[in-house]
Structure 1
Amino acid sequence: MFISLAFQLQRPILPSREEHFGTLWEIAQLLQPFGLPIDIWRPPARTRKKSLVHAAFDHNGPTSTALEIQRVQDEKDGMTNYRRTGVWSGNEKGIGGALSVSFSSDPSLPICLFNLQFDEVQALDDTRNMQQLMLGLLDICPLAANIQVGPFRYYTAHQVFPKRPGAGWMLYLPKAIARHEVPEAAELVPVMESGRQKGTIIVSVSNDVFSIDNADHVKVANAIEIRLADRDLLPR
């Protein structure tokens, strides 16, 4: 399953390396209740073997080794307005995943992303657990422009509008959306802040895990996208 959260920085400079890896650590903490402990994550390295030697996090935050690896990469890249880094679970088969966060302070390319990809994390096949994770991500990034949840191939081959967010399994938009506006949705979950609704999680399939191999799942997700676009609710 693939999760992508899009947002924009609210300041003109990149976060520090410590802040950047700290964001990854916060996301990793959210995943612990779903069977992905904090100590499984590994920092990027030139080879798999080198990556497996070091831990990216401990229970206090990013490790000094992970931060040093990022410092070396920053010096090599020489960029001052964009940085992308990530961690992975250290195994290529079975339960695991990868997390990445990109920050951009470039006004011409302002979109920043949290990307999460999971394999065989059964707890996140549960609709309520996935919604809990989405709400946790919104606690980390309250000004998210959208969150997309679904199989990666849905977004590359099946969504209706390639340059707009796809409905997939679930789609968060920072808008209060009523049932009559998207009747195709299986569920609309209000996201509240300080007693008011700041957004909505639109669920295309609530009683099953979304699959692109199920034509009905793809059909309802496509219908949701078309309906949202028709009502000018799907951002460009």
Structure 2
Amino acid sequence: MSHELCLWFRHSSDSHLTLRDHLSLVQKLTRFLGAEDTLLDESAWLLAGDTKDDSYRYFVFDSQGPTTTALSVLNQELEAEDVIKTFVIWNGQLANSQGASISYYFDRADGAASAMSLILGSKPPSSRLGPWTTVVKVLSEAVKIWDPLIATVDTRKYDGVFPDRPGVGWMIYLPTIVTEQHVPEARALMAVSDGCNDQMGTIVVSVTDGPFSGTDPEHVRSANAIEIRLAELDLLPRFIDL
């Protein structure tokens, strides 16, 4: 079973980020992940290639930041990408229960939001990061790094109520204050604060009794109920509006 953390973000037009900037943001997340699982540490990540040999060729990070080699390879590959720039990295582990990958999309010509997807494999029915409280910590860290428009954690087999909107899945981050009065269906509500201790938004959790599963009817019902409530409150945006 795999869990996926997805987030969508924008940066102001006067703060254009370079490839190095984007990779540095990803490295911050891998440093945090490495504290929970050494196979996810910054030193583990490689550029994904077209072949197995290519996928073990270039390490992405060292203690100083993104490696010179990775930057050179990616810059050359991205020169031909006019519609959307993207890169994929992985942690070099072939076993599903130990594997992980990060897909990153930015500088879209259509003006759509940039996005990041972290996929973590695990042995069913477990979660790679353990209990929901740890998953919330990882999601909170990602929120502090990217300040996203929205972010979710779910399984790749989960289908939400609205195909044109992000699903709640296990949990969803919204850049606003959400209370129990807003969403009584939530199993937990966790505030996310910035470095000045000001609340950035709220993580709404659908399941707290174990890892979320998109094939568990009760888990799906719980997530779907929250999606409907958020849509009624106009808090669940359409993908086209991100």
Partner of 2:139: 134
* 2:102 and 2:119 in contact (8 A); partners too: yes
Structure 2 residue corresponding to 1:83, chosen from 82, 85, 95: 85
Partner of 2:54: 50
Partner of 1:6: 8
Partner of 1:177: 178
Q: 1:86, CA displacement in angstroms?
A: 2.1
Indicate whether 1:30 and 2:32 are aligned. Answer: yes
Distance 1:195 1:66, change over 3 A: closer
Q: 1:78, CA displacement in angstroms?
A: 4.7
2:190 is matched by which residue type in structure 1? V
Could you tell me which runs of 5 or more consecutive residues in structure 2 were left unpaired when the two chains were aligned.
Answer: none
Could you tell me which runs of 5 or more consecutive residues in structure 1 were left unpaired when the two chains were aligned.
Answer: none
Q: Distance in 2 between matches of 1:19 and 1:104?
A: 13
Partner of 1:97: 100
**TM-align CA RMSD:** 1.9
Q: Distance in 2 between matches of 1:231 and 1:4?
A: 22
Q: Any runs of at least 4 consecutive aligned residues in structure 1 with deviations exceeding 3 A, and if so which?
A: 193-196
Indicate whether 1:118 and 2:123 are aligned. Answer: no
Paired residue secondary structure (1:224): helix
Q: Distance in 1 between matches of 2:103 and 2:131?
A: 23
Indicate whether 1:72 and 2:76 are aligned. Answer: yes
Q: Distance in 2 between matches of 1:111 and 1:87?
A: 20
Q: Distance in 2 between matches of 1:29 and 1:165?
A: 27
Q: Distance in 1 between matches of 2:63 and 2:113?
A: 30
Partner of 1:188: 189
* 1:191 and 1:199 in contact (8 A); partners too: yes
Distance 1:17 1:26, change over 3 A: same
Structure 1 residue corresponding to 2:45, chosen from 41, 49, 63: 41
1:180 is matched by which residue type in structure 2? Q
* 2:85 and 2:108 in contact (8 A); partners too: no
2:221 is matched by which residue type in structure 1? K
Q: 1:14, CA displacement in angstroms?
A: 5.2
Q: Cα deviation per residue 1:9-56 (whole Å; 9 max; x = unaligned)? A: 212685222222222222221210121222221113231112213211
Paired residue secondary structure (1:150): strand
* 1:44 and 1:86 in contact (8 A); partners too: yes
Q: 1:235, CA displacement in angstroms?
A: 1.6
Q: Distance in 2 between matches of 1:188 and 1:71?
A: 41
* 2:121 and 2:128 in contact (8 A); partners too: no
Q: 1:123, CA displacement in angstroms?
A: 5.0
Q: 1:109, CA displacement in angstroms?
A: 2.9
Q: 1:195, CA displacement in angstroms?
A: 4.2
Distance 1:101 1:2, change over 3 A: same
Q: 1:62, CA displacement in angstroms?
A: 1.3
Q: 1:201, CA displacement in angstroms?
A: 0.3
Paired residue secondary structure (2:47): coil
Partner of 1:207: 209
